[in-house]
Structure 1
Amino acid sequence: MYDTIPFSHGIILMYSITSRISFQDISRTCRQLPLNAKTDPRLVLVLVGTKNDDDLAREVSTEEGTALAQGLGCKGFFETSAKRGENVDVAVLAMVQALRKAESERKIGFSTPLKLIAGVKSYFRTTG
């Protein structure tokens, strides 16, 4: 599904809370590629609204950001301020944790049954 970005394990989608157009671009891009973690379990998405320090110029509500993140199956949604250093580290850390979790689930999902089968075969060889 996300063969258009073949070497990506995770994507941080960013828009400015002061720009409705940037928010709409995220939604449009996700539909066109398509990028949706609900329909593609291999994909890890985090949505970030930037410029949280400029609330007077806000054009996109927190509720709209939350709804988009939920609709895309994002592993996190954060509003950040680079100017104040607010939630930037938290957003990146959320991506890292989501990637680690996805990787561990892939290992468990694929290799654990094979290890179990190998263990059962080994048991029957030694007892049979």
Structure 2
Amino acid sequence: MGKKSLPKLKIAVVGTSGVGKYSLSHQFANGWIAPRDSNEPGDNPSKIVQLDTGKYDVKVLVFRDLDDERLNDCQGVMVVYSVVDKASFQFLKTTALQKLFENLGSKAEDPAENNDPEGARNDGQNPVETPTRSPATAGLSIPVVLVGNKVDEAEMSREIEQDVGNALSRDLSCVGFFETAATCNAEVPKAFRCLLEEMTKNLGVEKKKKKSSKKNCCIIS
């Protein structure tokens, strides 16, 4: 008999250019940061991870295009900005998060409240921040961890304070918020583990639902 294959998990890592998406991914998977010229599309590191619920084959997919259909195959999202780059934080609020909600959906089926609040019109030149969502729709349909990377550079040039990141994490019902330094592996394992543990909880719920639906089925002859 062949070996039983491990359950597979896929993490989506999203954020604007230069925030350290590939560095975080390789630091988690390999314990080192890949050379910049190897950070090409399709370079998706993987790792066997031991969690309390068992071993998993984890693949990390870095996304540049938030309309990429492969996002739908992921069971968790790591949303990344740089604490030393205000524009990267604004990109999340004006573009990335809205795209994720559009493509992945929210925890509830209902649309966000105040979807087009008065005065928040987008004229194509001034991006509008993602409107405040109701508690029922605040979270994405899959677990999200918010990461503020490059904290090792923050002493001299921080542009996003920690409490600002914390506030956004709460607003989006993230399962965790971490300030990381990919270069020295600071908080990187914790951030990924937090996300993976929540992802496996969801897997457990899905398995129970499948078992329950099978029990409720009847065969008519």
Q: CA RMSD for the aligned pairs?
A: 2.6
- Take 1:107 and 1:70, find their aligned partners in 2: how far apart are those partners? 28
CA contact (8 A) 1:14 1:49 kept: yes
CA contact (8 A) 1:47 1:74 kept: yes
**2:145 matched to 1:46?**
yes
- Take 1:87 and 1:19, find their aligned partners in 2: how far apart are those partners? 19
**2:97 matched to 1:30?**
yes
- One-letter identity of the residue aligned with 1:30: L
* Count of residues paired in the alignment: 117
Q: In structure 2, which of residues 76, 79, 92 is the aligned counterpart of residue 13 of structure 1?
A: 79
Provide the TM-score with structure 1 as the length reference.
0.76
User: Which 10-residue stretch deviates more, 2-11 or 25-34?
Assistant: 2-11
- Name the % identity: 29
Instruction: Report how far residue 58 of structure 1 moved.
Output: 0.6
Rg comparison, structure with higher value = 1
CA contact (8 A) 1:16 1:49 kept: yes
**Unaligned 5+ runs, structure 2:** 1-66, 108-135
**2:180 matched to 1:80?**
yes
- Name the one with the larger helix percent: 1
- Take 1:91 and 1:105, find their aligned partners in 2: how far apart are those partners? 22
Instruction: Report how far residue 111 of structure 1 moved.
Output: 3.4
Instruction: Report how far residue 105 of structure 1 moved.
Output: 1.9
What is the aligned partner in structure 1 of residue 204 from structure 2? 104
CA contact (8 A) 1:9 1:42 kept: no
What is the aligned partner in structure 2 of residue 58 from structure 1? 158
- One-letter identity of the residue aligned with 1:45: V
**Unaligned 5+ runs, structure 1:** 122-128
Instruction: Report how far residue 116 of structure 1 moved.
Output: 6.3
- Take 1:92 and 1:31, find their aligned partners in 2: how far apart are those partners? 23
Instruction: Report how far residue 106 of structure 1 moved.
Output: 2.2
Q: In structure 2, which of residues 160, 171, 174 is the aligned counterpart of residue 71 of structure 1?
A: 171
Instruction: Report how far residue 42 of structure 1 moved.
Output: 3.3
Change (3 A) 1:47 1:113: same
- One-letter identity of the residue aligned with 1:16: S
Instruction: Report how far residue 66 of structure 1 moved.
Output: 0.9
- Take 2:184 and 2:100, find their aligned partners in 1: how far apart are those partners? 33
